[in-house]
């Protein structure tokens, strides 16, 4: 049941991209009225002073209403419009946006605003999009501590899941997923190193894709790992994600391929990549029938499982690359403050009450000890990691099929700032593609216990259009979006 706490804005808040374009063209909605509605909704549902305090949005743009008025004026004069003309979008707060804090959730970057938009933000603006604000995240994209709580940052606090407030919104693109589900924006941008779009998409009941690494530029994005980082689009439907990806990647074919169907496509069902949660895995077993009904051929695949060694090697790679790349980023960031990873560690210690009250920074200190890519430990870990991901896992698993599918996550777990995350129902679907930089898409496949769960799709480099076409088959077959069943229930915290 939809228990939206701000029902007067619900109809406008959940309009899809095509409907918004049509209403803007007809003049029944203006960009100004749309932005005003969303800003009102954010104020009512999201901020620390609101009754709900979703905490999915870190900051809103002071200039977005003026930009909306300019978009309306251009439209009224019959001027040329981009693919996203007058459409609001929220951007994860580890992506640089002029006029917004772009802190990666850390107080170390607060008061050091960027001087230029990230390249992907420039592409959004060129397409006519209105940057509404920036979204909360797991601080530093969730690579500060092994005991972190997804969705928490020192700048934004703990982001809640609008389906059930005591439960996690996932990480690290927590705010982007929660804000979309809550009807605070029609479009959002996340980033993923390993699971950071997949997880919040699954837990909040929205669609997201991590494109092949390098497809969307990372210039102006706070870095973790050059080999694994990728910004990507998130939205409430597959078609909207495809349209947004075309803008971010400066291409034109993704949306066309996503709408072309999957007749004859060979879908590998990764029978070994389960969540271990009975309700989720049973729903997935039923959901794969959507591919057959869309004309695809199902083939069971026993994809290799990652073990502790693969996890250790991946962490070594991430920490070594972060030591180099985040350090260089801090040195180049405008303003006074930490200019190296060592200075960031010292800053956090000096501001422990703000930064270290819930969990520590052992990954940062380990990255400093590792010494970056020059460490022979890094080179060996990267070699072993790639060998496993390509030769042991994805190579054999994708032999004879076009795409791999698996459940993403079990329903959202309860957030716990004392003990940290305990996501026991995580599938290994993101591990191998993350290591080798291949694309992963996630689409809602149903509800378990009243909470959304997602189905994830993995493909070869450059297969984003095909992955989204397969995701479209799930969206159409499940019928959740069309039936209005992906509106969050806004359940208050409860026992059990």
Residue 455 CA from chain centroid, whole number: 15
Supply φ then ψ for residue 244, to 5 degrees: -70, -35
Residues 29, 146 within the same domain? yes
How high is the pLDDT of residue 79? Answer: 76
In the residue annotation, 196 being an active-site residue is answered as yes
CATH label of the domain that carries residue 60: 3.90.1300.10
Quick one: angle between helices 238-249 and 464-478, nearest 10? 160
CA angle in degrees (0–180, nearest 5) for 273-407-495: 115
**Residue 318 is assigned to a structural domain of this protein:** yes
Question: Which tokens sit at 298?
Answer: 């199902």
Are residue 138 and residue 274 in the same domain, yes or no? yes
pLDDT at 357 over 80: yes
Whether residue 172 is preceded by a cis peptide bond, meaning omega within 30 degrees of 0, is yes
Write out the DSSP string of 41-105. Answer: HHHHHTSTTSSS----EEEE-TTHHHHHHHHHHHHHTT----TTTT-EEEEETTB--TTS---TT
Q: Is the pLDDT of residue 475 over 90?
A: yes
- The rounded distance, in Å, linking the Cα atoms of 136 and 382 is 31
Judgement on whether residues 130 and 274 belong to the same structural domain of the protein: yes
Catalytic residue, candidates 196, 225, 427, 456: 196
Strands ordered across the beta sheet of 451-458: 57-60, 130-135, 88-92, 187-192, 230-235, 207-210, 440-448, 451-458, 403-407, 266-270, 297-301
Of 367, 386, 405, which one is at a domain's C-terminal end?
Answer: 386
* Active-site residue identified among 31, 92, 415, 463: 92
Q: What is the pLDDT of residue 258?
A: 98
When divided into structural domains, the chain yields a total of 2
Q: Does 215 share its domain with 262? A: yes
Residues of the domain holding 345: 308-386
Do both 300 and 312 map to the same domain? no
Whether residue 101 is contained in a domain is answered as: yes
> Model confidence over 32-45: pLDDT tens digits?
999 999 999 999 99
Out of 61, 102, 168, 172, the active site residue is 172
pLDDT for 424: 75
As a whole number of angstroms, the distance between CA 140 and CA 142 comes to 5
CB 228 within 8 A of CB 68: no
Q: Confidence class of residue 2 from pLDDT cuts 50, 70 and 90?
A: low
* Residue 190: inside a domain: yes
- Do 101 and 36 share a structural domain? yes
Q: Are 374 and 464 part of one and the same domain?
A: no
Single out the residue in 386, 408, 428 at which a domain terminates: 386
Residues 402 and 364 in one domain: no
Average of per-residue pLDDT values in the chain: 96
Asked if the structure places residue 487 within a domain, the reply is: no
**pLDDT band of 1, cuts 50, 70, 90:** very low
Using pLDDT thresholds of 50, 70 and 90, give the confidence band for residue 495. confident
Give the pTM. 0.98
φ and ψ of 253, to 5 deg: -100, -10
The pairing of strands 187-192 and 230-235 is antiparallel
**Does position 385 have pLDDT exceeding 60, yes or no?**
yes
The last residue of one of the domains, among 386, 416, 450, is: 386
Cα 24 from Cα 425, distance rounded (Å) = 42
Name the residue with tokens 């995580």. Answer: 426
pLDDT digits (tens, 9 = 90+) for 235-270: 999 999 999 999 999 999 999 999 999 999 999 999
492 located within any domain: no
The percent of residues above 90 in pLDDT, for the chain, comes to 95
CA distance 373 to 379: 7
For 395-451, how does the pLDDT look when each residue is reduced to its tens digit (9 = 90+)? 999 999 999 999 999 999 999 999 898 777 999 999 999 999 999 999 999 999 999
Query: What DSSP letter does each residue of 98-143 carry, written as one string?
Result: TTS---TT-TTSTT---SS--HHHHHHHHTT-EEEEEE--SHHHH-
80 within a domain of the structure (yes/no): yes
Residue 459 DSSP SS3 = coil
Co-location of 64 and 154 in the same domain = yes
Same-domain check for residues 126 and 254: yes
Residues 64 and 183 in one domain: yes
- What are 183-239's pLDDT values in tens digits? 999 999 999 999 999 999 999 999 999 999 999 999 999 999 999 999 999 999 999
Residue 390, exposed/middle/buried by CB under 10 A (0-12, 13-18, 19+)?
A: middle
> Token pair 């689409």 is at which residue?
443
Cα dihedral across residues 150, 61, 15, 197: positive or negative: negative
The answer to whether residue 299 sits within a structural domain is yes
Do 368 and 460 belong together in one domain?
no
What tokens appear for 121 in the block?
């933000």
Distance CA 187, CA 17 (A): 8
Residues 118 and 403: their CA atoms lie apart, in Å, by 31
Residue 25 belongs to a domain: yes
């Amino acid at each position: 049941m939809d228990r939206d706490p701000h029902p007067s804005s619900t109809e406008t808040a959940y309009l899809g991209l095509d409907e918004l374009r049509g209403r803007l063209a007809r003049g029944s909605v203006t960009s100004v009225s749309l932005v005003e509605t969303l800003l009102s909704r954010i104020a009512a549902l999201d901020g620390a002073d609101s009754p709900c305090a979703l905490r999915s949005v870190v900051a809103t743009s002071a200039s977005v209403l003026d930009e909306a008025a300019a978009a309306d004026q251009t439209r009224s004069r019959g001027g040329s419009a981009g693919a996203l003309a007058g459409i609001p979008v929220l951007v994860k707060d580890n992506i640089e946006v002029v006029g917004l804090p772009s802190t990666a959730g850390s107080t170390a970057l607060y008061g050091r605003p960027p001087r230029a938009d990230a390249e992907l933000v420039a592409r959004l603006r060129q397409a006519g999009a209105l940057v509404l604000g920036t979204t909360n995240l797991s601080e530093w994209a969730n690579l500060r501590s092994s005991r972190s709580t997804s969705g928490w940052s020192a700048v934004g606090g703990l982001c809640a899941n609008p389906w059930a407030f005591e439960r996690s919104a996932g990480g690290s693109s927590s705010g982007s997923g929660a804000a979309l589900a809550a009807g605070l924006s029609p479009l959002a941008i996340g980033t993923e190193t390993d699971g950071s779009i997949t997880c919040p998409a699954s837990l909040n009941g929205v669609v997201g894709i991590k494109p092949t690494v390098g497809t969307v530029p990372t210039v102006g994005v706070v870095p973790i790992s050059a080999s694994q980082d990728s910004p990507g689009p998130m939205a409430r439907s597959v078609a909207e994600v495809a349209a947004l990806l075309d803008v971010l990647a400066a291409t034109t074919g993704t949306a066309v391929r996503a709408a072309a169907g999957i007749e004859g496509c060979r879908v590998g069902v990764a029978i070994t990549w389960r969540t271990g949660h009975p309700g989720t895995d049973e729903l997935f077993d039923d959901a794969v029938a959507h591919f057959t009904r869309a004309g695809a051929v199902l083939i069971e695949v026993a994809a290799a499982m990652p073990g502790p060694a693969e996890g250790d090697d991946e962490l070594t790679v991430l920490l070594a690359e972060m030591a180099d790349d985040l350090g260089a980023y801090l040195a180049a960031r405008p303003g006074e403050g930490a200019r190296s990873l060592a200075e960031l560690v010292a800053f956090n210690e000096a501001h422990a009450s703000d930064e270290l009250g819930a969990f520590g920074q052992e990954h940062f200190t380990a990255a400093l000890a590792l010494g970056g890519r020059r460490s022979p430990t890094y080179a060996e870990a990267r070699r072993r990691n790639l060998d496993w991901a390509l030769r042991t896992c994805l190579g054999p698993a994708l032999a004879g099929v076009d795409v791999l599918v698996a459940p993403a996550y079990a329903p959202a777990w309860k957030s716990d700032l004392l003990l940290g995350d305990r996501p026991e129902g995580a599938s290994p679907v993101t591990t191998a593609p993350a290591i080798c930089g291949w694309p992963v898409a996630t689409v809602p496949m149903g509800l378990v216990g009243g909470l959304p769960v997602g189905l994830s799709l993995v493909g070869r480099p450059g297969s984003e259009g095909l992955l989204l076409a397969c995701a479209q088959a799930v969206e159409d077959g499940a019928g959740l979006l069309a039936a209005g069943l992906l509106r969050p229930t806004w359940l208050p915290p409860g026992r059990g």
